[in-house]
Structure 1
Amino acid sequence: MSDRELYCDSCEGVQPFEAPPCADGHGIDCPELICTGCGVAVLIATFAFRAPQLAARRRQSGPRRRAA
């Protein structure tokens, strides 16, 4: 099991969290962690995505027209 310290909302403080035995085969890289103080489970997001580029969308949509 791997340990790391994170803020726990339930305990209202920094607590050690550990990864439980993972049935999905992640091993120590399992995105599920459990607070050793109260047992609350958290899921760590392990993916990244790009934010939409607003300027590129504006250029593709063309100039805006206004009523006179």
Structure 2
Amino acid sequence: MSDREFHCDTCEGVALFETPPCVDGHGADCPELVCTGCGAARLIATFAFRAPRLEQRRRGARPAHRRAA
């Protein structure tokens, strides 16, 4: 199990959070954490960015601009 310190709203202070046994197969990279003091759950959101395609830039295509309403 992996341990990290975060602010816990229930404990009203910094507390130790640990990764519970993950049934989804994430292992130590599981995004779910549990406060060791009160048992409150915390989810760490992870996401990935797509890199811009080089072919579009080479052709001179410009990214679409958004307009304000």
Amino acid at match of 1:46: T
Counterpart position of 2:2: 2
1:56 aligns to what? Answer: 65
Computed over aligned residues only, the root mean square deviation of the Cα atoms, in angstroms, reads 1.8
The Cα shift of 1:47 comes to 1.1
How far off its partner does 1:48 sit? Answer: 4.6
Structure 1 CA distance, aligned partners of 2:7 and 2:36?
12
CA distance in 2, matches of 1:48, 1:15: 28
Separation of aligned partners in 2, 1:11 and 1:5: 12
Per the normalisation by structure 2, the TM-score is 0.71
Stretches of structure 1 that go unaligned for 5 or more consecutive residues are 50-54, 59-68
More helix by share: 1
Q: Which runs of 5+ in 2 are unaligned?
A: 50-63
State percent identity of aligned pairs: 77
Structure label with greater radius of gyration = 1
TM-score (norm 1): 0.72
Partners of 2:66 and 2:14 lie apart in 1 by 42
How many residues align? The count is: 54
